[in-house]
Amino acid sequence: MKSRILIADDEPNIVISLEYLMRREGHEVSVARDGDEALEMIRREPPDLVLLDAMMPGKTGFEVCQAVRDDESLAEVKIVMLTAKGRETDMAKGKALGVDAYIVKPFSTRELAEKVRSMLADPK
């Protein structure tokens, strides 16, 4: 079964790799360049999983996450937060806002792929 994945990140350099990786995993991939675009795309066509960068222009990852979690109809959307902020406080914030997984950069692509696979297999 093809899953739909949204990559929300303003850095093209990571998007290239993530997009390739997810396609290769057999998912259907779309890309958002900032927080507002990401939220709009999630609302228009809810993906199964979002790879969400924490620091983006417009709405930050945290704000997007909060907006998604405030919307009952989007409860099924799984959120993986990708962030350069490795502090405990940031992780706590992510958890509190309803992030399903919090991954600190730099990360191993293999582990990320596995994480995504297992999250998609595991119904919420």
Partner 1 sequence: MNRFDWRLALGVAVVGAACLLWLVVAGVLLWAVLDPADWETVTEALGGRGGLLLFLWAGSLIPVAALLRYLIAQYIRAPARLAEEAMLRVNNEKAGPLKLRGSRQNQRLAELLNGLLEKQYALQAEMDDRVREASRQTELEKSRLAALMSELTKSVVVCNLDGRILLYNNRARIQFRRLSRTPGVAGGAELMGLGRSIYTVLDRRLVQHALENVQRRLNRGAGAPSAQFVTSTPSGKLLRVQMTPVRQVEASVQNDAPRSVAEMTGFVLLIENITDDMQADSEKDRLLTSLTEGSRAALANTRAAIEVLEYPDIEDCMRERLLGVIREEIQGLSERIGEVQQSTSKALRSRWPLEDMLAGDLIEVAIKRIRSELGLHAEHESVDDELWLKVESFTLLQALLHLAGRLQEHCEVRSVALRLGEREGQAFLDLMWTPDQGDGNKAELGWDMEPIRVGRETLSLTVHDVLERHGGECWIEQEVGDKRHRCFFRLLLPLATPQEELPTATFMRHESRPEYYDFDLFQSSARSESLDDCPLGELVYTVFDTETTGLNPAGGDEIIQIGAVRIVNGKVLRNEYFDQLVDPRRLIPPAGIQIHGITPDMVRGQPAIEEVLPAFHSFCSDTVLVAHNAAFDMRCLALKEKQTGLKFDHPVLDTLLLSALVHENQESHRLEAIAERFGLTIIGRHTAIGDAMVTAEILVQLIPLLADKGVHTLGQARQAAQQTYYARINY
Contacting residues toward partner 1, per CB under 8 A: 11, 13-14, 16-18, 20-21, 24, 82, 84-86, 104-110
Distance, CA of 92 to CA of 86 (rounded, Å)? 11
Q: Which is nearer to partner 1, 24 or 95 (CB)?
A: 24
Q: Which is nearer to partner 1, 13 or 73 (CB)?
A: 13
Nearest approach, Cβ of 21 to partner 1 (angstroms)?
A: 6
Distance, CA of 62 to CA of 55 (rounded, Å)? 8
Nearest approach, Cβ of 110 to partner 1 (angstroms)?
A: 7
Q: Which is nearer to partner 1, 30 or 83 (CB)?
A: 83
Q: Which is nearer to partner 1, 18 or 29 (CB)?
A: 18
Please, is 25 exposed, middle or buried when counting C-beta atoms within 10 Å of its C-beta (0-12, 13-18, 19+)? middle
